[in-house]
Structure 1
Amino acid sequence: MFFASCASCVMAATLAMSAPAVAQQSAAPLGAAGSLAPAAASGARAASAADATNTTTGTGAGNAGNAGSADNAGQVGNAGDADNAASPDSAFDARQKVLDQRTEENNYRYAVAEHDCYSKFFVNHCLNKARDSMRSVQADIRKEQLALDGEQRVQRARERDEQAALKRAQDEASAPQRAADDARNAQAYEDKQRQHQLDQAQRAAEAPQRSANAQAYQQKQQQHALDQAQRGISPSQAAANSQAYDQKQGDFQRKLEEARQQGAQKAQERVTKQQSFEKKQADAAQHKADVESRQKQAAEKAEQKRQDQLKQQQQLEEQQKQQQQQQ
């Protein structure tokens, strides 16, 4: 009994001496737990509300996705495909949000349990137990995360299959039009080829005539040179005459172009003068209308003033008559 009491006293003294160190070691987990407390508290409330509906929502979304896949396989281009694709995505997002909240809550609970373990006697046993509990919940969350990822992959594969089926249906629907376009393009190409062959044959048939024309032109040039030689015109003089003729033709064309430009300029000036005249006429008419309007307003004012004066004069005469009658 004595030895037992002494052992208990020694143990109590050891715990009392190690209490400040344990408190210092637990300060960091406590700060982490305190920082996680608000977020995890809200996450716990959201998780408790979402867990109640997750079972029915997740199961219903999975069944709806399976039923939708069967219907979409038989009906390509259904008007409800967009709604069926949007609903699983929203259900997946909701379930992912719940899993994230559960992960935050699990981490918060582990931080709180780890902090509480430092105030107990069997610290390592408590930490191992808290870690095992955290890992168990983490494993459950991991299983649900893997299941959710698998459902998302199946949904994406189903959507890809539906898009591929829709693309195939569109290709099959547009196949006759593409075939008609290809046939029309092939026919146009063949027509062009035949026209090209006809053009080549025509040029080949016209080749002797072109050769004869070139030969006749060459003979005319030679005859012209002989005629000039007989008239005593040297080749240099003929070249000078040709240059002078070309210069005269150039001068004539230049003068003709200048005359055309001057005519166009005069026509533009006439149009400008006509527009200016019309504008002046319109301004004069507007000025006349303004003057007449001002004169009319002045006459009306004068008439109103005259009427006012007559009324005042009548009032004075009536006042004078009343004064005379009173006297």
Structure 2
Amino acid sequence: MLVASCASCVLAAALAASTPAAAQSITPASSNVARPAGALAPAAASGGEAASVTNAQGGTTGDGTDNAGNAVPQESAFDARQKVLDQRTEENNYRYGVAEHDCYSKFFVNYCLNKARDNMRSVQADIRKEQLALDGEQRAQRARTRDEQAAFKRAQDEASAPQRAAEDARNAQAYEDKQRQHQLDQAQRAAEAPQRSANEQAYQEKQRQHALDQAQRGVSPSQAAANQQAYDQKQADFQRKLDEARAQGAQKAQERVQKQQTFEKKQADAAQHKADVEARQKQAAEKAEQKRQDALKQQQLEEQQKQQQEQQ
């Protein structure tokens, strides 16, 4: 029995010594758990160290500022913290997958699996606690944002309340004015109703009297209708002839205007032609006079030369 126990201890020690080498040889491609991009190695730091790595890469700190001390929007800070938590979750799952894979090469497999599972659940509980805190802060921030928006809306409503009250008063006054005008129109129509009725009766009476007059003159209703139609036709013909005469008059007036414009243009062209002819004649006379003067000077010069020759 003692020999068997010693043999078991030696075998466990050998397996434990071979575990680091096996763990280092495992890659995400050979395991069933995919290693996320940018994830730490199996021997990576804890969640706080992962957050420090994210902050060193340009993330945000816990007080809502970046590494340079500049304030960042609250939503961006929440997103950065959520990204850190997601990364820690992926790293925790990866470490558990590697540990689970390594446990199958050890002697006490169940003990190793339980320990790896406990470590994974411990880190998972920490991440869950931080996730709940982050969710609570986000809910509080959303509630503050809603309260601020509601307060801003109330302030806007209170600021615009006098203007709305004035607009409502104007609308009410306009409505009352329209109602009073409508009542006045109805009253006026009611007051004019007897006069309209009297006018209608007078018109009917005139129509009856006209029919009696036509009957006394021996004109039948059909003849009266024919006479009315003939009268209307004469009026239409007269109006048509009047319109034609007006159209002809307008056309003749336009033709007279065009003729007047043509005559004035001819007169202007003739005056311009006359001025051009007179200018050319004046230039020709000046040229002829200049030639005559030149010829006279040439003749005088020749006579002087001749006299000089005779004196010699």
Normalising by the residue count of structure 2, what TM-score does the alignment of the two structures yield? 0.61
Match of 2:61 in 1: 57
Determine which of 197, 202, 205 is the counterpart of 1:216: 202
Match of 1:143 in 2: 129
Match of 2:215 in 1: 229
Quote the offset at 1:224 in angstroms.
Answer: 0.8
1:47-90, Cα deviation, whole Å (9 max, x unpaired): 441267999822x239xxxxxxxxxxxxxxxxxxxx99x71111
Give the conservation status (yes or no) of the 8 Å contact 1:29–1:114. no
Mapped partners of 1:2, 1:165: distance in 2: 81
Normalising by the residue count of structure 1, what TM-score does the alignment of the two structures yield? 0.59
Mapped partners of 1:139, 1:222: distance in 2: 109
Distance 1:140 1:238, change over 3 A: same
**Is 1:101 aligned with 2:104?**
no
What percentage of aligned pairs have identical amino acids? 77
Structural RMSD (CA): 4.2
Kindly indicate which of the two structures has a greater share of residues assigned to helix: 1
Give the conservation status (yes or no) of the 8 Å contact 1:30–1:115. no
| Helix, strand or coil at the partner of 2:129 | helix
Give the conservation status (yes or no) of the 8 Å contact 1:29–1:115. no
1:247-282, Cα deviation, whole Å (9 max, x unpaired): 555566677788999999x8xx99xx9xxxxxxxxx
Distance 1:147 1:251, change over 3 A: farther
Q: Which amino acid is 2:183 matched to?
A: Q
Give the conservation status (yes or no) of the 8 Å contact 1:51–1:98. no
Mapped partners of 1:255, 1:31: distance in 2: 109
Give the conservation status (yes or no) of the 8 Å contact 1:61–1:88. yes
Match of 2:225 in 1: 239
Give the conservation status (yes or no) of the 8 Å contact 2:36–2:90. no
Match of 2:78 in 1: 92
**Is 1:176 aligned with 2:179?**
no
Q: Which amino acid is 1:216 matched to?
A: A
Mapped partners of 2:249, 2:156: distance in 1: 64
| Helix, strand or coil at the partner of 2:32 | helix
Match of 2:172 in 1: 186
Q: Which amino acid is 1:217 matched to?
A: Y
Mapped partners of 2:113, 2:134: distance in 1: 31
Mapped partners of 1:2, 1:188: distance in 2: 111
Mapped partners of 1:173, 1:108: distance in 2: 58
1:264-308, Cα deviation, whole Å (9 max, x unpaired): 9x8xx99xx9xxxxxxxxxxxxxxxxxxxxxxxxxxxxxxxxxxx
Mapped partners of 2:245, 2:114: distance in 1: 110
Mapped partners of 2:243, 2:203: distance in 1: 32
Mapped partners of 1:27, 1:110: distance in 2: 14
Give the conservation status (yes or no) of the 8 Å contact 1:110–1:134. yes
**Is 1:152 aligned with 2:156?**
no
Mapped partners of 2:112, 2:243: distance in 1: 110
Give the conservation status (yes or no) of the 8 Å contact 1:106–1:138. yes
Distance 1:256 1:245, change over 3 A: same
| Helix, strand or coil at the partner of 2:73 | helix
Quote the offset at 1:232 in angstroms.
Answer: 1.4
Gaps of 5+ in 2: 16-25, 259-312
Higher relative contact order (CA 8 A, sep 6+): 1
Q: Which amino acid is 2:64 matched to?
A: A
Instruction: Return the index of the structure with the highest Cα Rg.
Output: 2
| Helix, strand or coil at the partner of 2:127 | helix
Give the conservation status (yes or no) of the 8 Å contact 2:31–2:98. no
Distance 1:245 1:132, change over 3 A: farther
Give the conservation status (yes or no) of the 8 Å contact 2:54–2:84. yes
Give the conservation status (yes or no) of the 8 Å contact 1:30–1:112. no
Distance 1:256 1:101, change over 3 A: farther
**Is 1:166 aligned with 2:152?**
yes
